[in-house]
Amino acid sequence: MAWSVAESCPSEVRSITVLAAPHPAVLRQSLRFDPDQRRRSAYMVAAQLPWLAPWWLRRGDHRVMRAWLSATLDPDDMAVYADGWRRPGQVAAMLNWYRALLWFPPPPADRGAATRPVHLITGTNDPLFGDAVLEASVARLAGSSHDRLDGVGHSPHRTAVDEVAIRLAHLTDGS
């Protein structure tokens, strides 16, 4: 959503920071032409299967999702996530996000308007997104930047809270 706002509604925002998510149009393109990103995003393709995906993700007390996130979440955070996954409708809501990401393109940018730069914060150990898709996302909007946190996985806001807070503070105070 934030990438789309930066492109289509620049007068509505002063700045945008995105944590661990490439631009959706760049991601869709990468899924077509980048074998590494296709491998990393296989779960998005699996999410398209109407009855199989929910069953597969719920079985074994969400064993598959636990395995995906085990490298990026500590046990306490994993317990919080698992509690959320057990709520009625939660797995369907997560799947619907990935379904929409692949089937519904973001709104077109107002080509007459200036876009806002986006500051992307990711971890160097993110298993879900490769360097190519992240760099192409930043290159899409002039003035955008990419801040990579060493040793951090897919959830910098959970596993590197202080580092993310420091970077956000620097963005808002202009330093």
Identify the helix (H) or strand (E) that includes residue 129.
Answer: none
Q: For residue 98, what pLDDT is reported?
A: 83
Q: For residue 174, what pLDDT is reported?
A: 61
Q: For residue 10, what pLDDT is reported?
A: 81
Rounded Cα gap, residues 28 and 49, in angstroms: 18
Q: Ramachandran region of residue 120, left (φ > 0), alpha (ψ -120 to 50) or beta? A: beta
Q: For residue 3, what pLDDT is reported?
A: 85
Q: For residue 125, what pLDDT is reported?
A: 92
Residue 121, SS3 per DSSP? strand
Q: For residue 104, what pLDDT is reported?
A: 72
Rounded Cα gap, residues 142 and 20, in angstroms: 19
Rounded Cα gap, residues 35 and 117, in angstroms: 28
Q: Report the sign of the C-alpha dihedral through residues 94, 96, 102, 108, in that order.
A: negative
Q: For residue 160, what pLDDT is reported?
A: 93
Q: For residue 15, what pLDDT is reported?
A: 79
With contact defined as beta carbons under 8 Å apart, do 20 and 126 qualify?
Answer: yes
Q: For residue 30, what pLDDT is reported?
A: 92
Rounded Cα gap, residues 165 and 161, in angstroms: 6
Question: Whose CA is closest to 57, among 95, 103, 83?
Answer: 95
* Per-residue pLDDT of the chain in tens (175 residues, 90 and over written 9): 888 888 878 888 877 899 999 998 899 889 989 999 999 998 888 888 888 888 988 999 999 888 878 777 788 988 998 999 999 999 999 889 888 887 776 666 555 556 788 999 999 999 899 999 999 999 988 889 999 999 998 889 988 999 999 999 988 776 5
Q: Which residues pair with 146 in a beta bridge?
A: 120
